[in-house]
Structure 1
Amino acid sequence: MNILVTGASSGFGKSICQRLVAEGHYVVGFARRAEKLEVLKEQLGELFTPIVCDVADFASIDKAFSEVPEGSIDVLVNNAGLALGLEGMQNLAVSDWTTMINTNINGLVYFTQKVLPTMIAQNSGLIINMGSIAGTYPYPGGNIYGATKAFVKQFSLNLRTDLLGTQVRVTNIEPGLCGDTEFSNVRFKGNDDKAAKVYENVKYIMPEDIASTVSFLVSQPTHVNYNRIEMMPVSQASAPLAVHRQK
């Protein structure tokens, strides 16, 4: 299959590319950091094409698609996304919430719209969006990030409704606590000690687990659609509702 993966240079995206290439798929990986993409290219060889792209920038996406080799697009993995900060909304920097919205929502939607004409014309295809349990379960400081992932969840369901009558499928993967990525390091803006505390003494989900889930979806019969896949480590569960008690 011909598969496009955003956020390909590290974390989930890197593992997804490695897994899919190992299974014999041709993968185009999009990411901002050219040097990391080149390292991945050296590792994966001819079945991997790196393209530098900032998913928060529509002009960058347009340029990136002009570099995609011609042919069918069988799968799009909208993996690129980020969280910035863990402050209450009243203290969240404007630049942080605009970056999250531009990346997690606008970029994902624009990438999706770019592949839809080809998928509809060939009457086949699979769009895999990377959501989060944060789109279902709120937590302090999750404000904008959680809202963007709630958007991804509902957008995925509505997109599948738009595509009813075609053979184009849509799935939203909603992971819980995942480690061995740059997610928390980015959220805490390079404070590695603070990021490490998030995963302390926890057996968390790994990027390889996400890649395995993507591989599973790609391998499914074309008449089967998985609307949502929510996954957590065994060490995590949805919390009870918080109650503030007056003193």
Structure 2
Amino acid sequence: MTSANTTVPRSALVTGASTGIGEATVRRLRADGWTVFAVARREDRLAALAEETGAVALTADIAEDDDVARLLAIVGETGGIDTLVNVAGGARGADRVAEASVEDWEWMFRVNVLGTLKLTRAFLPMLRATGHGTVLNVTSTAGHVAYEGGAGYNAAKFGQAALNDALRLEEAEHNVRVIEVAPGLVQTEEFALRRLGDADAAAKVYQGVESPLLAEDVADLIAYAVQAPHHVNLAHVTIRPVAQPAAHKLLRGPLG
């Protein structure tokens, strides 16, 4: 996938950078010559990523006000950013509503909705000041279509998608571009494992699927979206593997 690069040096802050889509996005943007601030909670993984790619590693919990304020200060002192890529998030549990864990629901709202809110709110003045700022939020097809056992994650991702839509309306007058990338089934190192808590259960999510998406596939799309000419806004982009033609339909076994 090719991108329309500009001659203006570009800089981004990418959350969820210690694994999966966030890590792949850091690698891709660095390969394209961007200055990248890589943010996550796991210092050891960030340090290794920074050493390999040249990204700036910043350890933080984006749902904590003090951490967000510290990130804003550090980034502001080192030249600022024109692009914010909110990848951090996740799912916990697969309970139906009747057996729902309130603790899991609260965690999902905290990381998916409040984390996105707090970081975006903090960096909006900086993005506006560039005259060509971009916010890209990685949501999920779970934020578009509900399914059994997914109510907590559905609700959190629906909330994040709604935040994104309102933000686009509010920030157009500031020439801040707001993009939503909603992946379907993506095989990453930890997503299913963190959600289900068991390696065997996590493996079954992808069992028999010939070619699920990989984190690098989503990172390619993110790179294209943020490097397109600024007047081009990929406002809502759904990316799924061919084996998943709809949220409720997943083909297991050879295709074609």
CA distance in 1 between partners of 2:201 and 2:37 (Å): 33
Instruction: Sort the Cα spacing of 1:156 and 1:239 in 2 relative to 1 into closer, same or farther, 3 A.
Output: closer
Inter-CA distance 222–146: structure 2 relative to 1 (3 Å threshold): same
Q: Within the alignment, does 1:18 sit opposite 2:27 as a pair?
A: yes
1:137 and 2:145 are equivalent in the alignment? yes
The answer as to whether partners of 2:134 and 2:176 remain within 8 angstroms in 1 is yes
> Contact 1:5/1:27 (CA < 8 Å) preserved in 2?
yes
| 1:72 and 2:103 correspond | no
Corresponding position: 1:226 with 2:234: yes
TM-score calculated relative to the size of structure 1: 0.92
Counterparts of 1:1-247 in structure 2, within 5 Å, are 1-45=10-54, 48-68=55-75, 69-189=77-197, 191-202=198-209, 203-238=211-246
Q: Is the 8 A contact 1:56 1:99 kept in 2?
A: no
Change over 3 Å in CA distance of 1:239–1:132 after alignment to 2 = closer
Kindly tell me: are residues 197 and 240 of structure 1, through their superposed partners in 2, closer, same or farther at Cα, counting changes over 3 Å? Answer: closer
Q: CA deviation at 1:74?
A: 1.0
Residue 118 of structure 1 and its aligned partner are, at CA, apart by 1.1
User: 1:121/1:37 Cα in 2 relative to 1: closer, same or farther (>3 Å)?
Assistant: same
Residue pair 2:82, 2:130 contacting (<8 A) in 1 also: no
Deviation at 1:62, TM superposition (A): 1.9
Aligned length: 238
Contact 2:108 2:153 (8 Å CA) reproduced: yes
CA distance in 2: counterparts of 1:43 and 1:201, whole angstroms: 33
Query: Which runs of no fewer than 5 residues in structure 2 stay unpaired?
Result: 1-9, 250-256
Answer yes or no: is the 8 Å Cα contact 2:187–2:206 preserved in 1. Answer: yes
CA shift for structure 1 position 188: 1.1
Deviation of residue 176 (structure 1)? 0.2
Report the Cα offset of residue 148 of structure 1: 1.3
What RMSD in Å do the two structures reach over aligned CA positions?
1.5
Gaps of 5+ in 1: 242-247
Task: Give the secondary structure class of the aligned counterpart of 2:238.
Answer: strand
* 2:186 match: secondary structure: coil
- Partner SS, residue 164 of structure 1: helix
